[in-house]
Amino acid sequence: RVLCSFSRRLSQMNAKPKTRAQKLRDLINKYRYQYHVLNKLEISESALDSLKHELKKLEDKHPELITPDSPTQRVEGKALSRFRKVEHKVPMLSLEDAFSEEDIHAWEGRLKKILPRGMFEYFGEVKFDGLALSLVYERGVLVRGATRGNGQVGEDITPNIKTIESIPLRLEAAAFLTTNPRIEVRGEAIISKKSLLAITREQKKTGQKIYANSRNLAAGSLRQLDPKLVAKRNIEFFAYDLVTDKDIVRHSEEHEILHGLFFKTDPYAAVCKNLEDVFKFYKKVSDVRERFAYEIDGLVVALNKNDLHARAGVVGKAPRGSIAYKFAP
Ligand code: IVH
């Protein structure tokens, strides 16, 4: 065994810098996924740090080896002076609220009038209390990350978004990407209850601004101009929407694809065959919500068939086919 490990070390030392850099990037990415998406790291944090350190040293020595998706590029050097405005190709809408079973029945009633022959099936997921983000990937590489803004125009905060470790900088080559070279992933940036407490304690100590809740903290953190400060805020990202040129039949499939592309998705999300299932789902989540590591303020319930969802249309700035089913405050 000693000989084996000696010869492995030797071959690592002799590996061409380019090969070794690629190997390190792959390893770091694998462990990043385990740690920040699955919450179960197979090696120690210090072992992961030492891999990052080795890659940094190698790239310092051979800057030509740096790739835009290298883990070392998560926190880029300089602070910005302002954020650029960017237009969303597909507007980022908002949701109408429902507070009771009656409200949900009334919503279904409205849908049935518009879609009398529709076969309804719903998709329920938790409603994260954070900040909506749009991530654009071209040929698998993260090229732009933006806030929702007013729904039509948001702010380009790409360097800040790259600091979020649960967001992949490059998507694994999946068959899905060959037919969809440009995809947009939407989801929510959140800060856990634990991090909110820790950051608040720290901010109090240093006499800095205190944020009232995790949503304000997530929003305030991502609007800082220096990515180095953003990186310290432990921001997480849950993906809930996939925008592509090709039609995807069900919203539940979007969740499956996003999970398969190694995004963090809502582990509770479920298909609900009818409103009875929706009410059961609501009860199940509201019973355990206090134990969640992060703040949620209700469910998002949507028609699962995307064609029906589109046909239901939009009222004001909200799609008729989705609704926010709020918990009692
Ligand atoms: S779906 C039509 N799914 O809720 C736009 N939104 O009140 C809804 N949100 O701006 C997108 N969790 O920031 C969706 N699982 C979830 C969500 C979610 C939180 C937020 C999102 C949106 C707001 C609408």
**Which atom in ligand 1 lies closest to the alpha carbon of residue 131?**
13
Q: Please state at what angle helix 17-36 crosses helix 45-61, rounded to 10 degrees.
A: 150
State whether the beta carbon of 243 lies less than 6 angstroms from ligand 1: no
pLDDT of residue 119: 87
Nearest CA to ligand 1 atom 18: 127
Cα separation values, 220 from 128, 154, 208, Å: 16, 15, 13
Which residues belong to the active site?
127
Phi, psi at 7, each rounded to 5°: -70, -30
Q: Ligand 1 test: best mutation among 237, 254, 300, most atoms within 8 Å of CB?
A: 300
**By 3-state DSSP, what share of the chain in percent is helix, strand and coil, each rounded to 5?**
45, 20, 35
pLDDT tens track of the chain, all 329 residues? Answer: 555 565 556 555 567 999 999 999 999 999 999 999 999 999 999 999 999 999 999 999 999 999 989 999 999 768 888 999 999 999 999 999 999 999 999 999 999 999 998 889 999 999 999 999 999 999 999 999 999 999 999 999 999 999 999 999 999 878 889 999 999 999 999 999 999 999 999 999 999 999 999 999 999 999 999 999 999 999 999 999 999 988 999 999 999 999 999 999 999 999 999 999 999 999 999 999 999 999 999 999 999 999 999 999 999 999 999 999 999 87
CB of 123 closer than 6 angstroms to any ligand 1 atom: no
Q: Is 237 in the pocket of ligand 1 (CB under 6 A)?
A: no
Q: Is 164 left (phi over 0), alpha (psi -120 to 50) or beta?
A: beta
